[in-house]
């Protein structure tokens, strides 16, 4: 609940200096991102925020991609067009990156 003297903020915005963590908006893309960023980290395309290092774990990357595939299958016909496009774009990007990494590992 907001008090009357609190500044008017949309849900998820962080007030400057109040010490609260940023909360993303409650929308479908927030669910996709929960699997997208870990997949990027496990593909070695982003630094792990916990360690600051890049590392690869292809099995965990594949697991996150598979979970996004499952999410796509289970939500088929229930998404807005822009949500469906976002999910498809994320999956295409991750699958292409996975295939490129797997090809490099084979050689």
What pLDDT, on a 0 to 100 scale, did the predictor assign at position 17? 56
- Describe the crossing of helices 58-75 and 28-42 by its angle, rounded to 10 degrees: 160
Q: What is the mean pLDDT of residues 67-83?
A: 97
Residue 105 has pLDDT above 90, yes or no: no
Q: What is the mean pLDDT of residues 65-71?
A: 98
CA atoms within a 13 Å half-sphere pointing along the CA-CB vector of 106: 6
- Output the pTM of the full model: 0.77
pLDDT digits (tens, 9 = 90+) for 32-60: 999 999 999 999 999 999 999 999 999 99
Residue 7 has pLDDT above 80, yes or no: no
């Amino acid at each position: 609940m907001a008090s009357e003297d609190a500044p008017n903020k949309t849900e998820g915005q962080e007030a400057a200096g109040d010490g609260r963590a940023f909360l993303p908006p409650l929308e479908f893309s927030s669910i996709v991102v929960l699997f997208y960023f870990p997949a990027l980290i496990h593909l070695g395309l982003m630094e792990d925020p916990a360690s600051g290092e890049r590392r690869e774990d292809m099995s965990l990357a594949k697991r996150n991609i598979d979970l996004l595939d499952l999410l796509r299958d289970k939500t088929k016909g229930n998404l807005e067009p822009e949500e469906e496009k976002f999910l498809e774009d994320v999956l295409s990007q991750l699958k292409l990156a996975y295939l490129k990494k797997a090809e490099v590992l084979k050689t």
